[in-house]
Structure 1
Amino acid sequence: MIRYFAVSIMALGLCGPVAAQDQTLGDIRQELTVLFVEVQKLKRELSTTGGASGAVIAGGPLDRLNTIEAELQRLTGKTEELEFRIGSVVNDGTNRIGDLEFRLCELEAGCDVAALGDTPTLGGGETPAAPAVTPNPQPETQLATQEQADFERAQEALATRDFRAAADQFATFNQTYPGGPLSVEAELRRGEALEGLGDVREGARAYLSAFTLDQQGPVAPEALFRLGAALGRLGQTSEACVTLAEVGARFPASPSVADAQDAMRNIGCS
């Protein structure tokens, strides 16, 4: 998580008094309950069903080998599928818990947000990585095709200025394909759609989320630029100038540097 920017955003009001008014401790407890339920679901999936059997495989030696090989492939595919799902839930859960820590700190008297450390990985240990082996390329190819089609459908809604549909479709996209290769850009475009609806504050939160998810990715410079520009539109000039200046410092070769410089001139950054 990018602590510097998170602290800056809370100081502005993106996660400050407004968030404290909109969200109560009961709401935060409810979110934690949802995370607990998701972890319990994973535990049930990892529990044995008692369905294994020692049945004798009929046929000759070659038939038995083919049957065993097919079963091993099925089990390997299922294991890697579960590994990917668990990794996605752990990553998403860790990010959510980190966000809840900030919100709780806002609501607690005497809590120093700047003193918060990195959020421990959900369940302990290192953050899991997605499995590198693809057990069944054909279904994943079909999934990638559908994923691309859903993303393009949301992009089309944004291009035609149907901002409500675009915001909803990008949100649904990231719920359907969490941690996918297009998820960061989907979050960025969701911010654009929210700004198109006039909700600059939520748009800024989406830009911050997109940048936090991948601080070195291809859309990171644009996410950081749009975050700074949104802060300027919210009247948070000093924080906007600092954020926009970071675009050139972090990504000097990006086209977003020129956009950030234009925004700084418009805001009146010194």
Structure 2
Amino acid sequence: MMRALKGAVCGLAMMAGLPAFAQDQQSLADIRSELAQLSAQVQGLRQELVSSGSSGLQAAGGASALARMDTMEASLSRLTSQTEELQNKINRVVSDGTNRIGDLEFRVCEMEQGCDISSIGKTAPLGGADSSAAAAPTPAASSNGSGQSSADLAMNEQSDFDRAKGVLDQGDFPRAAKELAAFAQSYTGGPLSDDALYYQGEALQKSGDTAGAARAWLNAFSTYPDGDKAPESLTKLGWALGQLGQRSEACTALGQVGQRYPQAQAVSEARAEMSKLGCM
């Protein structure tokens, strides 16, 4: 069963350098559109110059004007080719990263008692989750404990989270783990979902289910790598892997905390844990 966690962090090093792919893809699309517009404008200028006859050509600088246009068109063609190549590289990295996360979810599910592999579902594209599906906000704008405005929360989301978290605070860890998991599923993409998965990991850990906790923290980090709890989730994942005897994977996960989140408070905790494990 321990072997199921071997490679549970194989995608973390790759993910450490990943940009926000959805944003980059949009930027590349904008660049390609602008390049196409510039190319069309250069071609239009060429046609105007040629149609103006010898007098217009001489006024523009003679044959050198056409030569300059040839140079510009060649440069635009080269830039267009480079953006297409970069787009293809990003698509390959997104596909590979998504497949790796899906494999991690499958492996960790294998080692959990009662985990139904068929319930895992299709892994969302890495960096391309649609956050627009979050439920409609409420008119109120008071602050909640997670620093989020209640205007960002769906109806009843804050109260449902508080209730599930309250069960954890009361010490009913098995029940808390179930309620927090249900919350994260019900409000997928919501501003409190990463908190729910993080606390689900805590509930499972305090229940004695370290493997289940590792899965919850892996889900929290991989699903919400930019969430408020991402540094803590990655640190806890490294700790859990160390507890399960996966020292190499634990060191990899812990080492990524400082690289991905250099300003996070969890960095000191991750370094302390690396020291305990004797990570190089």
Q: What TM-score does the superposition give when structure 2 sets the normalisation length?
A: 0.52
Which of 74, 96, 99 is the matching residue for 2:121?
A: 96
Structure 1 residue identity aligned to 2:205:
E
Distance 1:96 1:127 in 2: 14
Structure 2 residue identity aligned to 1:148:
Q
Change (3 A) 1:174 1:133: closer
What runs of 5+ residues in structure 1 fail to find an aligned partner? 32-94, 100-117
- The answer to whether structure 1 residue 4 and structure 2 residue 11 are counterparts is yes
- The answer to whether structure 1 residue 152 and structure 2 residue 162 are counterparts is yes
Distance 1:127 1:177 in 2: 14
Q: Which is greater in Rg?
A: 2
Alignment of 1:121-270 (within 5 A): 128-130=130-132, 137=139, 144=154, 146-270=156-280
Contact kept? 2:10, 2:249, Cα under 8 Å: no
Distance 1:21 1:206 in 2: 11
Structure 1 residue identity aligned to 2:107:
C
Change (3 A) 1:98 1:175: closer
Residues 229-256 of structure 1, C-alpha deviations (whole Å, 9 max, x = no match): 0000000001101110110111111110
Offset, 1:181:
1.2
Offset, 1:98:
3.0
Offset, 1:179:
2.0
Counterpart position of 1:65? none
Residues 34-57 of structure 1, C-alpha deviations (whole Å, 9 max, x = no match): xxxxxxxxxxxxxxxxxxxxxxxx
Structure 1 residue identity aligned to 2:217:
Y
Change (3 A) 1:133 1:204: closer
Distance 1:9 1:157 in 2: 30
Change (3 A) 1:215 1:263: same
Matched residue count: 177
Contact kept? 1:163, 1:193, Cα under 8 Å: yes
Q: What TM-score does the superposition give when structure 1 sets the normalisation length?
A: 0.54
The structure whose RCO (Cα within 8 Å, separation 6+) is larger is 2
* Structure 1 runs, 4 residues or longer, greater than 6 Å off: 8-11, 20-24
Change (3 A) 1:9 1:243: farther
Contact kept? 1:150, 1:173, Cα under 8 Å: yes
* RMSD over equivalenced CA pairs, Å: 4.0
Distance 1:152 1:127 in 2: 25
SS at match of 1:178: coil
Change (3 A) 1:146 1:4: same
Distance 1:248 1:175 in 2: 29
Distance 1:233 1:184 in 2: 23
SS at match of 1:98: coil
Offset, 1:188:
1.0
Offset, 1:161:
2.2
Contact kept? 1:174, 1:187, Cα under 8 Å: yes
What runs of 5+ residues in structure 2 fail to find an aligned partner? 1-8, 13-98, 141-149
In percent, how many aligned pairs have the same letter? 38
Offset, 1:144:
3.9
Residues 59-107 of structure 1, C-alpha deviations (whole Å, 9 max, x = no match): xxxxxxxxxxxxxxxxxxxxxxxxxxxxxxxxxxxx83139xxxxxxxx
Distance 2:227 2:103 in 1: 24
Counterpart position of 1:19? 110
